[in-house]
A and B are shown apart, each in its own frame.
Chain A
């Protein structure tokens, strides 16, 4: 069988020792060795951003920068302190980014979402009041196929306190004038 070596990972403030083969990616180690399934695999090669985690040198302050765990070898992550989506919520409950994503309808299928939220967190950590172009730039490594990104921007702005929740997604419904047909029987069809 393949040779494994012992490595040490620091993830969400916890130290882990695990034996993995040299080619094991950080994503695989997180998902399949540590059971941190919130980091997702979408493309296997660094194109989609679903595997995004936050990383900083051990001992450094903050949560660090967004990195792609699917193109980082687990062996190369030993000097890092990693934050996954499971480590984003604190004792106070969900991180404001998580809360805003859930509240604003920023997610649909939710698969890109852990990576997207971590990129958003990294942005807000370094730039607490980003402009819309800055938000777009910071999230451009995370592909979302469901939302068209619009509500994701709103969620980041809500999380940053740049938009009040009440102001988010104003109701734009318009009633069609010709149709007051609620609760009426189906009208005769014209030929």
Chain B
């Protein structure tokens, strides 16, 4: 009825006419505006804070310092290492120190300049290598050993033996630069404390439930007194997954003043809030046997985490655990260290933890295959892991449309006729594949309750109301809920109201991360709608409204039903084996075409063909949007994006002029293909589409650059000066080779 259709987004019109309310569009009478003072030092002890001049400034109503909110928080229960405002110490330039609430934003901003902070500057560590070498410089006291947030070492099979007996071994070091999400909407929060002791916080978060939990913990209020509402959200990409200083500050200031309080981050503050892609240094060994089959993969990964853990414990696992498809590994080992450094904290950015190792692996695979004279398409086909199989690290793969993905991009790009130097000097094609989770089987905080809950209520008018805790962050989950209701109950999808992401009104959902929403919320919604559909069918009626009335009459009470997604027990039987375990995995293949100017090193992505196995496209327009947006974001990391710091830990150019993201003129032509493998577990066969399609873009581009000009670039971003250096090295090697041949 509605599933699989290009149903327009349910919020399309309110976003088109400008009437939709985002967090900063919310205002209340008597509302105060607050601003946060931030650290100019990468690492310093706070000797004292003098607020007297700020408090006396006209318009200032209240101030706040860290000692008033000393409880540590963090989404992951084992690594709670942050406070709302610095207590005793600042750990990165931009760390939050103090907060001022005033009658208007400008007064608050001006008052910040009157706060006198006496800092004792401490030595800092700015690279993960330094963080390892200098355990005596303790960035974060939460680290049990030195500056290590998390160390993971896992081995599956006899890796060293497999490498020793291999026919081709690619062994190189790769560097992945840090990048950040850049949602176009900066973070914003508004809090209101009612006289009856109920706190409400409107926030641009992608996980209201975690914000509620952490607000309750830090403020010492019962969770039942804290309501978090997510209004329309202007982009997130993982960057709004953590609770942030602003939510605690507005809440505490609302409690202190009895007035509503708002904080809107500046773009600069969004850069300091960060939680973006972790920089990684990866020593990769990939070994193929004589037939080109993957005998061993061995990765040593050093992860630059920044000043706080965020989701870093998971990052250290994901960096290894999510690499083991779509190819079969004979043996596998990874050793990852996530380090604290005195920089803004990294966290989950689209393709959390796995984009970096995927880049290194897919380039190494090309390189090893080339040693054996095997075509890049062929080596990927030959190593295909198959369907309904277990990976080397114990993850259960269900449906797998990867071969079809490869076939589509091979054909669409004209691979056979155009790859292998056939396009001439300076132009080439590259391929890469990947796999990603559809949610994680293991909730971030261990509990036996459903990960997703949905409540559906029918009105006798025929109006359907769906209450869902899930966050629509632009990906369109609210639209999917309308479609699922229409599919199951044969109602008009335009006559469905979705009440979403409001912790007082909606059942708990663990949030929009790990690509869990379509799979888990979809199953929960389908279950609820099916319960009601059975009653409607029994009641009968000429119209949907009539069926609702007859069913309600038969029931003797209003009609409503709930559905839930119950976490499955999945994963390998070893410590950490559940991390990366997912009920279903998506698969993607890309072919990228690039052109390289060998005189200047300036290069361009001409086009990317991306095919993605999302199980079943519940709404193809939305799936294509996820594929295209992912490919764009991946290509951007290869092209231009990098968080660059100076030797004192100051971020260069925390603005959208200096930190460049692609405009329409920088974005390559994108061609997306949907592959439907119809997963037996997902709703209507669906798997994820929001993060997987990002991964192959970077290695496909690197491999295309090799096809174009014979160089292997192993460091992001692929700046022209880096390309030029490699081209000159290539030419020097060529010249030496000729000299040798002549002598």
Contacts and interface: CB of A to CB of B under 8 A. Distances in A.
Partners in one complex: yes
Contact of B184 (A38, A42, A149, A189): A42
B183 A111 contact: yes
B675 interface: yes
A62 interface: no
13 contacts: A1-B59, A42-B186, A47-B655, A86-B19, A94-B16, A105-B621, A111-B22, A111-B185, A111-B235, A145-B182, A147-B629, A176-B676, A182-B680
Given A86-B17, A107-B12, A176-B404, A48 B677 contact: no
B390 interface: yes
A178 B656 contact: no
Interface of A: 1-2, 21, 23, 31-32, 36-45, 47-48, 50, 84-86, 88-89, 94, 98-99, 101-105, 107-114, 117, 135-137, 139-153, 169, 171-191
A98 B632 CA distance: 23
B492 to A, nearest CB: 17
Given A2-B106, A110-B234, A148-B631, A43 B655 contact: yes
B674 interface: yes
A98 B476 CA distance: 18
Contacts of B58: 1
A181 B106 CA distance: 61
A151 to B, nearest CB: 6
Nearest to A191: B390
Contacts, number: 259
Interface string B397-414: 011110110001000000
Contact of B13 (A94, A140, A169): A94
A47 to B, nearest CB: 4
Given A102-B13, A150-B628, A174 B184 contact: no
B237 interface: yes
Contact of B676 (A39, A50, A175): A175
Given A143-B661, A150-B670, A186-B398, A48 B17 contact: no
Contact of A147 (B628, B655, B675): B628
Contacts of B184: 40, 42, 48, 50, 109, 111-112, 143-145
A174 B673 contact: yes
Contacts of A101: 12, 16
Interface residues on B, range: 35 or more
Contact of B22 (A40, A98, A151): A40
Nearest to A148: B632
Contacts of A23: 106
B628 A151 contact: yes
Nearest to B404: A176
B474 interface: yes
Interface stretch (B3-11, B66-74, B114-122): B3-11
Contacts of B396: 189
Interface in B168-194: 181-186
A136 to B, nearest CB: 4
Given A47-B655, A85-B17, A176-B403, A146 B12 contact: no
Contact of A108 (B182, B388, B625): B625
A172 B404 CA distance: 13
A103 B15 CA distance: 12
Give me the 3 closest cross-chain CB pairs, A-B, nearest first.
A38-B18, A111-B234, A109-B474
Nearest to B627: A148
Contacts of B27: 32
Contact of A178 (B400, B474, B622): B400
Interface string B459-481: 00000000000000111100000
A190 B21 CA distance: 50
Contact of A43 (B386, B656, B672, B680): B656
Given A111-B185, A151-B628, A190 B18 contact: no
Given A178-B403, A179-B678, A94 B17 contact: yes
B617 interface: yes
A151 B626 CA distance: 11
Contact of B475 (A38, A108, A153): A108
Contacts of B408: 174
B232 to A, nearest CB: 7
Given A108-B625, A176-B403, A182-B685, 13 more contacts: A40-B185, A43-B656, A45-B657, A104-B621, A109-B234, A137-B665, A145-B629, A147-B628, A148-B667, A171-B620, A174-B611, A178-B401, A186-B388
Given A37-B18, A143-B663, A148-B667, A169 B624 contact: yes
A189 B396 CA distance: 8
B448 interface: no
B687 to A, nearest CB: 11
A186 B343 CA distance: 46
Nearest to B58: A1
A107 B15 contact: yes
A32 B398 CA distance: 52
A89 B15 CA distance: 13
A145 B661 contact: yes
Contacts of A176: 399-401, 403-404, 613, 675-678
A14 to B, nearest CB: 15
Interface string B615-651: 0010011101100111111000000000000000000
Contact of A146 (B390, B474, B667, B674): B474
Contact of A113 (B16, B19, B661): B16
B661 A41 contact: no
